[in-house]
Amino acid sequence: MNQKESVRNIIPWDGALSSSDFFCAASAFSEKWKRFNPSAPPWLWVPSPKHHLLSSHKEEGYLSLEDMCFIKSSEDQESCRSQTWKEESSISQEEEAVDTATLVQSCFDEVNHYDFHIVYSPSYRVPVLYFRSYHSDGQTLPFDEIEKDLPDYCAKIRLESKWTFITHEEHPYLNRPWYKLHPCGTSEWMKLLFHGDTSLNKNGFVIEHYLVSWFSVIGQVFDLKIPLAMLETVSC
């Protein structure tokens, strides 16, 4: 046990982690994701160019999962189909063919693409989820459309919860506006998840499982499931 670890064991854990711990946690998370969730797009580490004159950690960067597709629910597709039916009954045969094709096509266009980035916040000392969404043609989705992709109970959670809410601000590395899940409650509920139990912090247990546990909560906002096998821990 090195000096850093022994200090950690004495001081009660505050639910947060350092930038270099985030890098370790990110490596463990992306590796587990690849192993237990191979059908999903992978989480890739994107190293960031150094902004500062002073040398920063060479492990500075963020995790990126791009092009997760959210297909419109079958209910929506059915309402598309019922519109087709109405159209067919009121127009001539020639027009019918064209209109049907147009309506059907708009159903198939209803695939929303999501990019997710897990970025470390130095001020809150926790990971933050940034996301953006766009149609297949590249057009950005406005927030009220993103909301339709989220499970119903999530809307309630976002409105009422003091722990997760969505803001629209500049991505810390990409200088473009992205949406993010605000991190102010993160360290509190991360502390709860690990019971604030410093004994769990032996041998880097917390670091290794931090992002998996974090994602089990955050992923629910988008109904992104973690396979149970990925959540299994070796000890306790």
Partner 1 sequence: MSAAHSPTSLTKVVVHLRATGDAPILKQSKFKIAGTDKFAKVIDFLRRQLHRETLFVYVNSAFSPNPDELIIDLHTNFGFDGKLVVNYACSMAWG
Active-site residues, by number, are 184
Minimum CB distance to partner 1, residue 192 (Å): 6
The Cα 99–Cα 16 span in angstroms is: 56
Element (H, E) at 33: helix 19-36
Given candidates 185, 186, 207, 211, which one binds partner 1 under the rule CB under 8 A?
A: 185
The Cα 127–Cα 185 span in angstroms is: 11
Q: Between the CA of residue 137 and those of 19, 82, 98, 134, 163, what are the distances in Å?
A: 36, 25, 21, 8, 34
Sign of CA dihedral 21, 27, 28, 33: positive
Size of the residue set binding partner 1 (CB under 8 A) = 31
155 near partner 1, judged by CB under 8 A: no
234 near partner 1, judged by CB under 8 A: no
The Cα 216–Cα 206 span in angstroms is: 14
- Give ∠ CA 172-174-175 in degrees, rounded to 5: 75
| Cβ proximity to partner 1, 181 vs 226, nearer residue | 226
Candidates 71-79, 80-88, 119-127, 184-192; binding stretch for partner 1 (CB under 8 A): 184-192
CB atoms closer than 10 angstroms to residue 163: 16
Q: Between the CA of residue 224 and those of 74, 116, 219, what are the distances in Å?
A: 18, 11, 5
Minimum CB distance to partner 1, residue 25 (Å): 13
Residue pair 76/110 in contact (Cβ under 8 Å)? The answer is yes
Minimum CB distance to partner 1, residue 116 (Å): 17
Candidates 77-85, 86-94, 108-116, 157-165; binding stretch for partner 1 (CB under 8 A): 157-165
Site string for partner 1, 162-181 (x = CB under 8 A): xx------------------
CA-wise closest residue to 35 among 43, 45, 25, 23:
43
Given candidates 57, 81, 86, 156, which one binds partner 1 under the rule CB under 8 A?
A: 156
Site string for partner 1, 95-134 (x = CB under 8 A): ----------------------------------------
- Within residues 187-226, the interface with partner 1 by CB under 8 A covers 188-189, 192-195, 200, 209, 212-213, 216-217, 219-220, 223, 225-226
Token pair of 224, please? 């992104």
Given candidates 7, 11, 53, 236, which one binds partner 1 under the rule CB under 8 A?
A: 236
Footprint of partner 1 (CB under 8 A): 153, 156-157, 160-163, 184-185, 188-189, 192-195, 200, 209, 212-213, 216-217, 219-220, 223, 225-226, 228, 231-233, 236
